[in-house]
A and B are shown apart, each in its own frame.
Chain A
């Protein structure tokens, strides 16, 4: 691991990603302390006399939105939504995917086939369309949005874990421990699952990048987290018709979504380089 850690720390892009994730987390946790204004307060001096939003200025660092609220404050609180959904939804997807993948790969037989045919079926659905339909069915709140994303995103993870479990279960050392009388829970928890951790860690990180994007997209389409809760995609959704006159209302939240997603992608990619032995020496 110290070799891997060194390799990881040498990757400047991964360090950049890690620092950005840290900054976003600090912004999310300490939003009430950092934010100069409350996120939902409509300021009288937050709009021009004609009622248009203000561009970035001394009082409102990133300008104001259509209702005269501070964009900076809303972005800080929006980081909470993105991170909570990113981590919760992806964690749930990881749990479902790993659970089904391990069962299908270890138990095999009828149950295994049934699970994998079901994942094939899920693969045939366009993910975004399915997520939109699900979000429209359950009127979306924070946790519902997280659940919808998890319901769509577990499929890939299940497939990867399934094929890894199968290869592991057929290895000779598993036959060896079985021949000395190890029980199946022992084989599963001591001899198989520990080998799946690297894959889970990589997918856990890369998956957050996809989840952050999916949450922003759902909010942009108006089926995400409900206003007035500030979410980055939602801020753009609210200001979309006005963006030619107030481009900062699209630009700043857009940069925030992209940076957060990019950071998780960079870190996940670096982790894969370090943890996946088949990738070693390739890049």
Chain B
């Protein structure tokens, strides 16, 4: 267990180091000069040069990178070029909205994906199975922005049940979370189905049936316990991916999460924010993977960590 943990942590740190290298190189490929964007068009050459000096952008690139890494280790992700605020604070201020959206999304993903997947597995090869699987494909094939705009049109415009975007109450959460939940739910139902189909073939399920247990108990108690494992691993990965925010849905609904922050930053070439969000997202994905690995043995005692 301990050896496994150290090994995985070591790998994670190496990957994160690579991530900083790539985000840092990307920021230098940006065509627009950030100093000019801060200074504005009418700035004189001396102003531009003094801002460049102030931001440390006149130093050689490797020096800038080392300095960046040094600050990063101390938890300092630099300041936004535009807003002059610390990137860490900006991301933290957006974190609650993104976490809330994440919880809502996972709720809908499971609410849609689990029953659909279980039903399809038990009705394998029948009409219900075909329909559920086709709808799941429909869910993953519809772009999030189209689904988002259509839900807004129907449930906020024609039937004014929910607000037209924004943030603040549980009512604001429903449509964005549902949008992401429908597209994610498609993947969950497919995974749930294939996992349940495999489990229902096992010998212990035959034993349970032979004992005379009802089909309901066999599937929902005996089958589900094992069939749900890959789904739980998938939630771990989902949490990680969510750390980048949901750029599309947050932009459609005006949801003030990390995705919106990243999106706004890219449009004004605010490099520290872009690097910060990418880094936080990569940390989230790496930790999400780690979390999924670590939780598994507690749910499934057959798995040992090496």
Q: Across the interface, which residues of B come within 8 angstroms of A139, CB to CB?
A: 31
Q: Bound complex: CA of A132 vs CA of B273, how far in Å?
A: 14
Verify A209–B141 contact, CB threshold 8 A: yes
Minimal Cβ-Cβ distance residue in A for B269: A136
> B143 contacts which chain A residues (CB < 8 A)?
213, 216-217, 220, 233, 254, 257-258, 261
Interface size, chain A (Cβ < 8 Å): 44
Q: Are B157 and A128 in contact (CB-based, < 8 A)?
A: no
Shortest Cβ distance from residue A117 to the other chain B in the assembled complex, whole angstroms: 8
Alpha-carbon distance between A213 and B144 when the two chains are bound, in angstroms: 9
Interface size on B, residues (CB 8 A): 51
A250 at the B interface (CB under 8 A): yes
A129 within 8 Å of B by Cβ? yes
Give min CB distance, A261 to chain B, whole Å.
4
Q: Are B278 and A129 in contact (CB under 8 A)?
A: yes
Which residues does chain A contribute within 8 Å of B221, judged by CB atoms? none
Q: Is the interface of A mostly helix, strand, loop or mixed?
A: helix
* Interface-located stretch among B22-30, B51-59, B172-180: B22-30
Q: Give Cα A254–Cα B179 distance, bound, in whole angstroms.
A: 14
A121 close to B277 (CB less than 8 A): no
Pick the contact of A129 from B141, B247, B267 — CB < 8 Å? B247
Partner of A137, one of B29, B150, B251: B29
Whether B61 is near chain A, meaning CB under 8 Å from some CB there, is no
Proximity bits, B244-267, A CB within 8 Å = 1, else 0: 100110011000000000110011
A120 to B14, CA, bound (A): 10
Asked if B149 and A243 sit within 8 Å, CB to CB, the answer is yes
Q: Main SS of chain B's interface residues?
A: helix
Pick out which of these stretches binds chain B: A36-44, A159-167, A262-270: A262-270
- Look across to chain A and name the residue whose beta carbon is closest to the beta carbon of B284: A126
B150 engages A125 (CB within 8 Å): no
Is B196 an interface position by the 8 A CB rule? no
Q: Does A61 contact B (CB under 8 A)?
A: no
**Chain A CB within 8 A of B142 CB:** yes
Report if A280 contacts B (CB, 8 A).
no
B138 with A262: CB separation less than 8 A: yes
A9 at the interface (CB under 8 A from B): no
Q: How far is the CA of A283 from the CA of B18 in the complex (A)?
A: 41
Q: Known A13-B130, A236-B145; judge A262-B137 contact (CB<8 A).
A: yes
Please list the 9 inter-chain residue pairs (A to B) with the smallest Cβ-Cβ separation, ordered nearest first: A254-B146, A126-B244, A262-B141, A261-B141, A121-B18, A258-B142, A124-B282, A126-B281, A137-B29
Interface residues of B (CB under 8 A from A): 11, 14-16, 18-19, 22, 26, 29-31, 124-125, 130, 134, 137-138, 140-146, 149-150, 152-153, 157, 164, 194, 197, 241, 243-244, 247-248, 251-252, 262-263, 266-267, 269, 274, 277-278, 281-282, 285-286
**25 interchain pairs (CB within 8 A)?**
A121-B15, A124-B19, A129-B281, A132-B263, A132-B266, A133-B266, A136-B30, A137-B26, A137-B30, A216-B145, A217-B145, A223-B266, A236-B149, A243-B153, A244-B152, A244-B164, A251-B150, A253-B146, A254-B146, A258-B142, A258-B143, A258-B146, A261-B143, A262-B137, A283-B197
New A-B pairs, 13, CB < 8 Å, besides A120-B11, A133-B26, A221-B251: A120-B15, A125-B278, A126-B241, A129-B262, A132-B266, A133-B266, A213-B143, A220-B143, A233-B145, A257-B143, A261-B141, A265-B137, A282-B197
